[in-house]
Structure 1
Amino acid sequence: MEIINKFIISVSLSLVLILRATESFDYHEKELESEEGLKGMYDRWRAHHNMAEVSHEEKAQRFNVFKANVQHVHKSNKMNKAYTLKLNKFAAMTNHEFRNSYAGSKISHYRALQGPRKVNSTFMYQDAANLPPSVDWRTQNAVTPAKNQGKCGSCWAFSTVVAVEGINAIRTGELVSLSEQHLIDCNRLSNNGCDGGLMEPAFLFIKNHGGLATELNYPYTCKKGICDQAKIGNQVVTVDGFEDVPQGDEDALLKAVAHQPVSIAMDANGHDVQFYSQGVFTGRCTTDVNHGVAIVGYGETPEGMKYWIVKNSWGPEWGEDGFIRIQRGVLDKAGLCGVAIEPSYPLKNSNLSIRTEL
């Protein structure tokens, strides 16, 4: 009970931080009309996001980047798209810098190293029927608040953890925040910490190594460290393996998500993804997947646009409290931004939430 009580306190604090973090940075169109107005906007943006002091030369360079990003956000928001952009914490980063720091986790690279996905002999949700028109696992107490990977290519670990937290909560009725750092430090043979990895071998690692530690016991450090058995402790959440969702099949993906959160990969390189604020994302992206995330639901807007609810790992100040809605049911079988290329989910038969090893 002590673990659960501490977790509830942690979630409550996280919600307070989310409310503070998502106070959006607004600007007036008049500020765009002069260099002086833009400089004032830049200074306000730096204060809003508590940016560290930098040299005069670097500040001038970052101001140039900021100006270009302001114009992109402003122009995009004038185009009556299904989504809007905002000047978030990435507004002084070039898209190249952003990709390298936050969307360069080499999912495609690790898939190439491990070979093609094996064709499933079974897909447990193949015959699922009468699916609900919408599902949001956040409202079912199966999704923790958005976390932040920082400048560490550990998205594969965050994606894995979302799916494991989800199926554990569904099976046991208890939502427990689990440790990405445990995977980053200890899952070394098949994945590579802050230099990227895949979700499937992470599921197998959890199965084959006795379970996954709680976040409380093994907190995130934003860097690859030495595997610390003492931090793992004797309280872990276990899984019984994983299954892949048939590739390039959004209908099959829908069946899986109707039953549990699903780990996926997507192309997150785009300028619009960098500054996504709210709405259903319909923007430009490729199917060259480079970033691990997780689908935690699906739905449809009043206008009839279908979407996936995707949990990201760039903190709660990005997007819709750390989530993005991505258009569902597009013509490309890979799904928009490649969401149907790498879907997989963990299996869990036990209804025990935290197993204590003696």
Structure 2
Amino acid sequence: MLVIAHKQLTSTYFRLSLLKRTFHRHKLTQHLLTLSQYSITTMERTVFLIAIVLALSIIQSTAIPFTEKDLESEESLKALYERWISHHGLSRDLDDKAKRFNVFKDNVKYIHEFNKQGHSYELALNKFGAMTKEEFRSTYAGSKIDHHRIRRGEARGSDSFMYEKVKSVPASVDWRLKGAVNPVKNQGQCESCWSFSTIAAVEGINYIKTNKLVSLSEQQLVDCDREQDEGCNGGLMDYAFEYIKNNGGVTTEAAYPYTAQDGTCHSSNPVVTIDGHEKVPADDEKALLKAVANQPISVSIEASGRPFQFYSKGVFSGPCGTDLDHGVAVVGYGATADGTKYWIVRNSWGSNWGEGGYIRFKRDITAKTGLCGIAMDGSYPIKTSPNPVSTGDESDIIPLDEL
């Protein structure tokens, strides 16, 4: 299969080159729609998706490379700082520019020393280069909702686990390659990770049940799911699943665009429905494996440390704790050539973080909680009913036969 795929990649390269010119901030949805203009085989379609996933990890990385020479003097560090500011399009007239430089300098040295230690993953000087770890946590991983209360029985939902009797699973699963995952999105400076985790899981199960990949609205959850969740102040995926069920569904991203701030809830036509949700048995990576083999899963993790902040590539192995402060989606699993097992985790910090917006978490560790608590608080939507007859914008819907 890999040999055939390699040959097919060569013949598919020119199509990728042509499609790349139509990319708009790497929105894969648009590119796959463009793909419907071409006549391709099933093999080419599969190879195309593989190539896209591989390409995104390369073309979407915007970390600034640096060498030991850049750290030799204050002047060289300032030059690196200016290059970093220019690269990310930041203002050079920041009121706290001097303070930011000191933070930047500390982060650069931390990244450099960390990478010299030979870990299973590498750090890079990304867009968070001038943020302290405290600022980073409060902005991107500091949900003010207590994730642990869900483990005390306060969240409602089914007590069953539909995958309990699963006896075997594939050696690896990647829902991106199956077409069930939209391009990585960006929550911005709004603590709405919970809504992105929820929507990723709903988009996934909807694709599995309907063969249509639909980009759904996180902003609708931020604005309208207010009984338990708190918009840009945080939330929990279980409550969001319940809102979608009780609301009769959720609309598309095109119909209710993301603004990265709290807004007033406005009416919208539901496009995708779910019939409830279930919890993955806590502290059980095998149970999580069974679930992920069947659909993308929402999980909570601790994501506030500097290694996570500056993660670039490789299999993340910590250090981290289990103070759950961030919602993400597990969209697959696999193993490296040397046998290291990992989870494929979809983040919501944009495609210019990590491996094209993703991070690989070490899997099957000694702690029952899983790395960074990934096995503590998993949940997934259930879908058995058909979606409503659409009466609105279908621009975010991609029929399978058009891929």
TM-score, normalising length from structure 1? 0.91
Matched residue, 2:329: 294
Cα–Cα, structure 1 residues 355 and 262, in superposed 2: closer, same or farther, change >3 Å? farther
Matched residue, 2:76: 37
CA apart distance, 1:130: 2.2
Q: Return the alpha-carbon distance in structure 2 between the equivalents of residues 76 and 82 of structure 1.
A: 11
- Counterpart AA for 1:75: E
Alignment partner for residue 22 of structure 1, among 61, 74, 85? 61
2:181·2:203 contact (CA, 8 Å) conserved in 1? yes
2:317·2:361 contact (CA, 8 Å) conserved in 1? yes
Matched residue, 1:59: 97
Q: Return the alpha-carbon distance in structure 2 between the equivalents of residues 307 and 281 of structure 1.
A: 8
Q: Return the alpha-carbon distance in structure 2 between the equivalents of residues 215 and 193 of structure 1.
A: 16
Aligned 1:266-305 pairs, distance under 5 A: 266-305=301-340
- Counterpart AA for 2:126: N
Q: Return the alpha-carbon distance in structure 2 between the equivalents of residues 266 and 221 of structure 1.
A: 24
Aligned 1:1-358 pairs, distance under 5 A: 8-9=29-30, 21-55=60-94, 58-108=96-146, 111=149, 115=153, 121-229=159-267, 232=268, 234-350=269-385, 352=387, 355-356=389-390
- Unmatched 5+ residue regions in structure 2? 1-26, 35-51, 393-403
What does the per-residue CA deviation read over 1:326-355, in whole Å, with 9 as the maximum and x for residues that have no partner? 011011111110001110000011354x64
1:235·1:357 contact (CA, 8 Å) conserved in 2? no
1:152·1:223 contact (CA, 8 Å) conserved in 2? yes
Cα–Cα, structure 1 residues 351 and 133, in superposed 2: closer, same or farther, change >3 Å? farther
What does the per-residue CA deviation read over 1:245-300, in whole Å, with 9 as the maximum and x for residues that have no partner? 00000000000000000000000011100000010000211111010101000001
Q: Return the alpha-carbon distance in structure 1 between the equivalents of residues 113 and 184 of structure 2.
A: 28
1:108·1:288 contact (CA, 8 Å) conserved in 2? no
CA apart distance, 1:105: 1.2
Q: Return the alpha-carbon distance in structure 1 between the equivalents of residues 190 and 157 of structure 2.
A: 31
1:307·1:327 contact (CA, 8 Å) conserved in 2? yes
Q: How many residues are aligned here?
A: 348
- Unmatched 5+ residue regions in structure 1? 1-5
CA apart distance, 1:54: 2.5
CA apart distance, 1:117: 5.7
1:123·1:244 contact (CA, 8 Å) conserved in 2? yes
CA apart distance, 1:112: 6.3
CA apart distance, 1:196: 0.6
Cα–Cα, structure 1 residues 113 and 124, in superposed 2: closer, same or farther, change >3 Å? closer
Q: Return the alpha-carbon distance in structure 2 between the equivalents of residues 206 and 312 of structure 1.
A: 21
Matched residue, 2:397: none
Percent sequence identity is 53
- Output the aligned Cα RMSD: 2.4
Matched residue, 1:3: none
- Counterpart AA for 1:347: I
Q: Return the alpha-carbon distance in structure 2 between the equivalents of residues 316 and 11 of structure 1.
A: 17
Cα–Cα, structure 1 residues 99 and 137, in superposed 2: closer, same or farther, change >3 Å? same
Q: Helix, strand or coil for the counterpart of 1:237? A: coil
